[in-house]
Structure 1
């Protein structure tokens, strides 16, 4: 029987760069996290995670090494020059490289995966932007690290992948208090004193403020599509004991 390939979404703006936004489709995990589950700590077998990640590499940049950080909802971006072991992952929420055949990855389950590239400079990055990281400056830190590696903000193309959409992201006043009055435009009035927060638009605005003018949004809602994506909030609302994570990756071809 032929192996089922990993199903990854592409961003037209990054068409010259090996990349992919992960889904829940095309993997070997079973149970509540069935499919292309690529996160450790999801009550999934490590062997399943390893196989699913292998399929993602094969579908994106065959024979590449994969580097993923230990994500902590921080504003820490690190420049990667060589792959590391799982045990020695840096605690960070964005990874940047100019090294060919080194695939960068971050996992998400409602937070926004953001893939960035300056094709002319040969610099790429992957960022994990939940509301906490985004307000803390993870996207600005990612752009700054890319500049350190040789990129220019005016040349950077950024694509925001599948994440929780505004219609699915109900928040209360305590959540809104984490934002300034200038961010009011990212909140739509909801029911019973609640609000609907627009995470992808907020991320796009932070990228624009950092000098990135080319920003696209795939407009895919993780919460409302259980057959296609994992979602932390959906799993929580359903009272499920665990939830899966999709992986988003980006890298560079070997120079000719």
Structure 2
């Protein structure tokens, strides 16, 4: 059975953060691997994508981007063929029946909705996209469609947790140089290293953009191998590849 985690604040909006439960993939990709960039069998990945969107909103059309760790946002007005996926890390739409899907395997998935305006969005926030402002750009793109930041509800889905996300001091310094207040998202680790709370950083960026309702699911992808794929865990285990999970949101048709 596919697990779709729901978030408070997005009630009434078709949305869900899928993990690896369900699906038809095997091996290191076992479960609901939706990553076209993985080494999994393509037919299995496409089947998993169909299963995921049908669990979210039967009859909806899944739209995904070719994620490149950027702050770039695409406004989606029609279905997009898989071969034509735009290079971007966030999508927004005001069209019913389009399920916006973000793929992650430790990075932060963020879902957005202003139901009064009939506008939704989805963003992939790895550390590069997060510090470059991908969530700010998503809010701006939604506002261009008639949304208001103070009406937007956001949910931060499963991602790597602070306890699992070790970075070196040079990495932490990059964030401190951008804003000294960012030091609060890092705690000391072993010598020369710190633990980064990327979900809290993304939440703070959302709050600074004027978002008043932010839900955090607080699910660590790294430490739950039975439920979630994790790039970092796969690397630490020396596995040959890793799967990706999907987070989706849509306006009902």
Q: TM-score, normalised by structure 1?
A: 0.96
- 1:93 corresponds in structure 2 to 89
The alpha carbon displacement at 1:46 in A equals 1.2
3-state SS of 1:42 partner: coil
| Residue 231 (structure 1) aligned with residue 230 (structure 2) | yes
SS at match of 2:116: coil
Aligned counterpart, 2:18: 22
Q: Tell me which residue corresponds to 1:216.
A: 215
What secondary structure does 2:69 align onto? coil
Q: Give, in angstroms, the shift of residue 112 of structure 1.
A: 0.4
8 Å contact kept, 1:173–1:193: yes
Instruction: State the superposition RMSD in angstroms.
Output: 0.8
Distance 2:34 2:173 in 1: 33
Structure 1 residue 177: Cα displacement: 2.3
Match of 1:131 among 119, 127, 131: 127
> How far off its partner does 1:213 sit?
1.2
CA distance in 2, matches of 1:88, 1:65: 15
Distance 2:53 2:29 in 1: 20
Q: Which runs of 5+ in 1 are unaligned?
A: none
In the alignment, the residues of structure 2 paired with residue 84 and residue 178 of structure 1 have an alpha-carbon distance, to the nearest angstrom, of: 36
SS of corresponding position for 1:104: strand
In the alignment of these two chains, the number of paired residues is 250
Please say if 1:168 is aligned against 2:195: no
Query: Of the candidates 147, 150, 154, which is equivalent to residue 154 of structure 1?
Result: 150
- 1:145 matched to 2:141: yes
Q: What TM-score results when the alignment is normalised by the length of structure 2?
A: 0.97
Contact (CA 8 Å) 1:11, 1:159: kept in 2 or not? yes
Does the residue aligned with 1:12 lie in a helix, a strand or coil? coil
CA contact (8 A) 1:140 1:206 kept: yes
| Cα offset, 1:12, TM superposition | 2.0
Matched, 1:82 2:81: no
